[in-house]
Amino acid sequence: MKVLKFAKWLNDNNIAFILSSFGIALILLWIGAFKFTPTESNGIAGLVKNSPLMSWMYSIFSVRTTSAIIGVLEITAALGILAGNFSPKVGLWGSLLCVLIFFVTSTFLLSTPGVVEHIDGLIVPSGVGSFLVKDISILGASLFLVGHFSRKIA
């Protein structure tokens, strides 16, 4: 039963937590920093303007400022998760912010025109849809981190 032994090793060495926390932090730091560029600000504009949860931001802030606010939230969540290695309460808050971020971005699949296309009789994700569908998995990993940090606090 080498598979069971390997699974025990994964569990004993907290591999799921390590990969989830550092993977999400890397994604959020990288994409969060990119939000401060004109390319990314304009790149997310179609997602934000079609979102019933976020479109209001453009009535208050410019495209660049909206993108920067999102970037600050993403970087804050990443730093919170990384800090969770030292302070589980901070990690919990960072992972809760991640849940919010990736819940909202997952809804873009429902609100953004053109996220799916018909190819050879199948409905498949478009380029934008392929980019967004990963957020469902990251939402799940964020929920895993909420549970992990909650157990550490308890």
- Residues 41-65: tens digit of each pLDDT: 999 999 999 999 999 999 999 999 9
Q: What pLDDT is attached to residue 98?
A: 97
CB-side neighbour CA atoms (13 Å) of 60: 7
How many domains is the chain built from? 1
* Residue 148: closest CA among 79, 73, 81: 81
Checking if the pLDDT of 75 tops 90, the result is yes
Q: What pLDDT is attached to residue 59?
A: 97
Q: What is the mean pLDDT of residues 140-151?
A: 96
Q: What pLDDT is attached to residue 42?
A: 97
* Residue 36: closest CA among 67, 12, 59, 11: 67
Q: What pLDDT is attached to residue 135?
A: 94
Cβ neighbours, 10 Å, residue 96: 18
Q: What pLDDT is attached to residue 61?
A: 98
- Residues 82-133: tens digit of each pLDDT: 999 999 999 999 999 999 999 999 999 999 999 989 999 998 889 888 889 9
- Residues 13-24: tens digit of each pLDDT: 999 999 999 999
Q: What are the two backbone dihedrals, phi and then psi, of residue 118, each rounded to the nearest 5 degrees?
A: -95, 120
Q: What pLDDT is attached to residue 128?
A: 87
Higher pLDDT, 131 or 136: 136
pTM of the prediction? 0.91
